[in-house]
Amino acid sequence: MDASLIIFYCIAAFILGAAFLAVTSAKIFRSAIWLLFSLIGIAALYYWMDVQFIAAVQTIVYVGGIVVLIIFSIFLTHNANDNMPKPPVMRQVFAGLASLFGIALVLHLVYHHSFTKPTGAALNGDVANIGTLLISTEKGGYALPFELASILLLAAMIGCIVIAMRKGSANVNSVE
C-alpha cells in the first residue's frame, strides 16, 4: 500500500465521519459545522484527484457560499443552543435499514462490475483548457449551458427576493 492510498483513506474517513455527525448531531448549528468539515474534506479529495479547478470551485461555492447561507438561515430561525427533538426509534431503525440495504446493493453492483480500461491519451484538464471550452461556441464547447446557467442564477436571485419579501413592504418608506 503506497502513501497516496493511505492519504486517500484518511480523507475518506474524515468525509464519512463528518457527514455522519452532520446528519445525527442533535444541535442544528453543530450539524452545519460538521457539514462544513465534510465539504472541506471533499475539496481535499478533489485536490488528491488532481482536479484543482473543481477543488477551488468546491471551496468557494460550497464552503464559502452555501454553508454560510445555511448558517444565516439557522440564526434567523432557531435558537442555536436548543436541541432538536430526537427522531422516533422506529424511524431511525427503518431509515438505517433502508440505507444499509441500499449500500449493500450498490456496493455489490459496483464490486462485480468490470470497468473498461481507459482508451486514448489523457486530456489536459487545467484551468486554461476548461476556461476556453466553457465559452467556446464550437463543437464540444459549453457556451450555451454557460449562458443558461447565468439566466438560471438571475432568475433564482429575483425569485429569492420575491419569495422572501414581506407582504406590503415593497415600498420601504411606508412601514409604519
Partner 1 sequence: MSQTPLIQILFLSVGLFFIGMYGLLTRRNVITILMSIELILNSVNINFVAFNKYLYPHQLEGLFFTIFIITIAAAEAAVAIAIIINLYRSHHSVDVEDANELKW
**C-alpha–C-alpha distance, residues 84 and 25, integer Å:** 9
Minimum distance, C-beta of residue 174 to partner 1, in the bound complex (Å): 19
* Backbone φ/ψ region at 94: left (φ over 0), alpha (ψ -120 to 50), beta: alpha
Minimum distance, C-beta of residue 161 to partner 1, in the bound complex (Å): 8
Nearer to partner 1, 166 or 170 (CB): 166
Q: Which amino acid is at 107?
A: L
Pattern 78-107, binding to partner 1, x per CB under 8 A?
Answer: x-----xx-x---xx-xxx-xxx-xx--xx
User: Which residues does 54 contact at the CB level (< 8 Å), separation at least 6?
Assistant: 46
> Which of 63, 44, 65, 51 is CA-nearest to residue 127?
51
- Here the cell at position 35 is 457539514
Minimum distance, C-beta of residue 42 to partner 1, in the bound complex (Å): 5
Within 1-20, the residues that bind partner 1 by CB under 8 A are: 5, 8-9, 12, 15-16, 19-20
Say whether residue 44 binds partner 1 (CB under 8 A). no
**C-alpha–C-alpha distance, residues 126 and 130, integer Å:** 6
Candidates 38, 82, 147, 171; binder of partner 1 (CB under 8 A) is 38
Nearer to partner 1, 164 or 172 (CB): 164
Buried-exposed string 122-160: b where 16+ CB fall within 10 A, e elsewhere: eeeeeeeeeeeeeeeeeeeeeeeeeeeeeeeeeeeeeee
Residues in the chain: 176
Within 106-165, the residues that bind partner 1 by CB under 8 A are: 106-107, 110-111, 114-116, 118-123, 125, 129-130, 133-134, 142, 145, 149, 152-153, 156-157, 159-161, 163-164
Minimum distance, C-beta of residue 102 to partner 1, in the bound complex (Å): 5
